[in-house]
Chain A
Amino acid sequence: MTATEIIATLDAECGSKIKDKKTDAIDPFIVVEPANLVAVCTTLRDHPKLRFESLNCISGVDYLEPDPKKVAKAGFEPHVEVVYHLCSISLRHRFVVKVLLPRWKDDKPGELPEVPSLVEIWPAADWHEREVFDLTGVMFGGHPGLYRILLADDWVGHPLRKDYEFPLEYHGIRGR
Chain B
Amino acid sequence: MGMLEGRFDENFFVTTIEQGIAWARESSMWPMTFGLACCAIEMMAVGGPRYDLDRFGAGAFRATPRQADLMVVAGTVNMKMASRVRRLYNQMPDPKFVIAMGACTCGGGPYYKYGYNVVKGVDLVVPVDVYIPGCPPRPEALMEGIMRIQDKVRGMRYLTKGQAIDLPIPARTGYIQLPPELDDADPVKALEKQIAWAKMNKEKATPTKA
CA distance A150 to B81 in the complex (A): 11
Determine if A159 and B124 form an interchain contact, defined as CB atoms under 8 angstroms apart.
no
Asked if A14 is at the interface of the complex by the 8 Å CB criterion, the answer is no
CA distance A31 to B165 in the complex (A): 72
Determine if A152 and B80 form an interchain contact, defined as CB atoms under 8 angstroms apart.
yes
Asked if A176 is at the interface of the complex by the 8 Å CB criterion, the answer is yes
Where the two chains meet, the residues of B that have a C-beta atom closer than 8 Å to any C-beta of A are: 79-80, 82-83, 116-117, 119-120, 124-125
Determine if A173 and B117 form an interchain contact, defined as CB atoms under 8 angstroms apart.
no
Determine if A174 and B124 form an interchain contact, defined as CB atoms under 8 angstroms apart.
yes
The minimal Cβ–Cβ distance linking A105 to chain B, given in whole angstroms, is 23
Interface window among A36-44, A58-66, A138-146, A164-172: A164-172
CA distance A152 to B83 in the complex (A): 11
Interface size of A in residues (CB-CB distance below 8 Å): 14
The listed residue with most A CB atoms (<10 A of its CB), out of B79, B80, B116, B119, is B116
Which residues of A lie under 8 Å from residue B117 when comparing CB positions?
150-151, 159
The minimal Cβ–Cβ distance linking A130 to chain B, given in whole angstroms, is 15
Determine if A173 and B125 form an interchain contact, defined as CB atoms under 8 angstroms apart.
yes
Subset of 28 A-B contacts with CB under 8 Å:
A150-B80, A150-B117, A151-B79, A151-B80, A151-B117, A152-B79, A152-B80, A155-B79, A159-B116, A159-B117, A164-B116, A166-B116, A167-B116, A170-B79, A171-B79, A171-B82, A171-B83, A173-B79, A173-B82, A173-B119, A173-B124, A173-B125, A174-B120, A174-B124, A175-B79, A175-B116, A175-B120, A176-B120
Which residues of B lie under 8 Å from residue A170 when comparing CB positions?
79
Where the two chains meet, the residues of A that have a C-beta atom closer than 8 Å to any C-beta of B are: 150-152, 155, 159, 164, 166-167, 170-171, 173-176
CA distance A151 to B78 in the complex (A): 9
Which residues of B lie under 8 Å from residue A175 when comparing CB positions?
79, 116, 120
CB nearest to A160 among chain B residues: B116
Which residues of A lie under 8 Å from residue B124 when comparing CB positions?
173-174
CA distance A174 to B115 in the complex (A): 13
A interface majority secondary structure: loop
Known: A151-B117, A173-B124, A175-B79. 17 other contacts (CB 8 A): A150-B80, A150-B117, A151-B79, A151-B80, A152-B79, A159-B116, A164-B116, A166-B116, A167-B116, A171-B79, A171-B82, A171-B83, A174-B120, A174-B124, A175-B116, A175-B120, A176-B120
CA distance A167 to B80 in the complex (A): 14
Which residues of B lie under 8 Å from residue A166 when comparing CB positions?
116
CB nearest to A153 among chain B residues: B80
Nearest first, the 7 A-B pairs at minimum CB distance are A159-B116, A152-B80, A170-B79, A173-B124, A166-B116, A173-B82, A173-B119
CB nearest to B79 among chain A residues: A170
CA distance A165 to B152 in the complex (A): 42
Which residues of B lie under 8 Å from residue A155 when comparing CB positions?
79
The minimal Cβ–Cβ distance linking B36 to chain A, given in whole angstroms, is 15
CA distance A124 to B82 in the complex (A): 30
Which residues of A lie under 8 Å from residue B116 when comparing CB positions?
159, 164, 166-167, 175
CB nearest to A152 among chain B residues: B80
Which residues of A lie under 8 Å from residue B119 when comparing CB positions?
173
